[in-house]
Amino acid sequence: MLMLDDSLLTKESLEREYRERMKEQERQAIRAIIAVKTLLIIAKGVELSKKLDDIASEMQEYTSKTFVNNIKGGFEGKAAEATETYLTQTMKKPDLKSPIKS
């Protein structure tokens, strides 16, 4: 009877150890998935920042050239000069920020 109890204890301890190892393996898999997803989000953030910078440059280009030419006829004298100076020199490139934090 003593042999039977030892084999049951051994079987129980083996099963417990097996479950713990499976849990640890699952935890490691979850950590790996989270790390991959985090890297993908960071990559998207970098890509979005680049696109936003390009769009901001396009906006500045449009404002300082195309828009200025389109509204020239609407102003005369000092108002025309002040408007053109503001739109071409004073107005800065928009600061478009990505909502994705890295």
Residue 92: closest CA among 65, 38, 56 = 56
Q: What is the pLDDT of residue 2?
A: 44
Q: What is the pLDDT of residue 7?
A: 66
Residue 64: closest CA among 73, 52, 72 = 72
- Averages of pLDDT over runs of 10 residues in the chain (102 residues) are 59 92 98 97 95 94 85 82 84 88 74
Full-model pTM: 0.65
Q: What is the pLDDT of residue 69?
A: 81
Structure tokens at 42: 């960071």
CB 100 within 8 A of CB 47: no
